[in-house]
Amino acid sequence: MAHSSFSVRSQTLIGVGALGVAGALIYGALSIASDAGYAGVGPNFLPWLVAVALLACGAGLLWEARRGGFRQLEQPSGAERGDWRAMAWVSAGVLANAALLTTLGFVLSCALCFALAVRGLRASEGRPAGGPRQTLLDAVTGLLIAAPVFWLFTKLLAINLPGLTASGWL
C-alpha cells in the first residue's frame, strides 16, 4: 500500500478544496464596493487578485493530482497511515477546551484538555490508554501544569484568562 500522501483521491480533494476557497473568495469579493481609487484600485482589487490566483493554483493542483500526482512531493515523516483514534482523542481535548473554557475556567478546562489529549497521544504510541488510575494521574498532571500557567499569566502579566471563581486562583 502506497504512502497516504501519494493517494490520488486525497490530492484531488486538496485541489478541490483550494478551488472551494477561491470560490468563497470570489463570492465575498462580489459584495465589496469598488469605490475605485486610482487606476481602478479600490478595496476590492486585492480580493479579486487573490481569488483569481487561488483559482489558478487550485486548478493547477487538481491537474497535477490527476496527472501523476503532485510534483516534487517529499515523503512526509511518520507513519504511512494515520492513527485516527488518537487524533479523535486529541481533537476532543482541544474542542472540549474551546467549548468549556469560559464555563469551567482556564485551569479545569485545560486540565481536561490535557487529560484527553495525553490519552490519545499515548494510544498513538501503541501504549495502553490507561484505566481510571492513569486517567486521574493525567488530570492531576494537567492541573499541575495549568494552574501555575494561569497564575503566571493572570497575576504577573495581567493577561485576561477566565476563572471558575472570582478569587483569581481557580
Partner 1 sequence: MLDTWHHLLGGFLTAATPINLLWAFVGCALGTAIGVLPGLGPAVTVAMLLPITAQVEPTASMIFFAGIYYGAMYGGSTTSILLNTPGETGTMVTALEGFKMARHGRAGAALATSAIGSFVAGTVATVLVTLFAPLVAEFAVKLGPPEYFCMMLLAFATVSAVLGQSTLRGLTALFLGLAAGLIGMDQISGQVRYTGGIPEFMDGIEVVLIAVGLFAVGEVLYNALYEGRSPADLNTLNRVHMTGEEWRRSWPAWLRGTLLGFPFGTIPAGGSEIPTFLSYATEKKLSRHREEFGTVGAIEGVAGPEAANNSAVTATLVPLLTLGIPTSVTAAILLSALQNYGIQAGPQLFETSSGLVWALIASLYIGNVMLLILNLPLVGLWVKLLKIPRAQLYAGILIFATVGVYGMRQSSFDLFVMYGIGLLGVMMRRFDFPVAPVIVGMILGPLAEAQMRNALSIGEGRWSVFIERPMSATLLAILALVLVLPRVLKWRASRRARGEEAVAAR
Considering beta carbons, is residue 13 or 165 the nearer one to partner 1?
A: 13
- Tell me how crowded residue 67 is: count the other CB atoms within 10 A of its CB: 9
Considering beta carbons, is residue 125 or 165 the nearer one to partner 1?
A: 125
Residue 69 C-alpha cell reads as: 500526482
Shortest CB 35 distance to partner 1, Å: 7
Considering beta carbons, is residue 77 or 165 the nearer one to partner 1?
A: 77
Shortest CB 107 distance to partner 1, Å: 10
Q: How far apart are CA 10 and CA 20, in angstroms?
A: 15
Shortest CB 23 distance to partner 1, Å: 12
Considering beta carbons, is residue 77 or 167 the nearer one to partner 1?
A: 77
Shortest CB 131 distance to partner 1, Å: 16
Cell 476590492 maps to which residue?
44
Q: Is-contact 16 24, C-beta < 8 A?
A: no
DSSP state string for 6-58: G-HHHHHHHHHHHHHHHHHHHHHHHTS-----GGG-STTHHHHHHHHHHHHHH
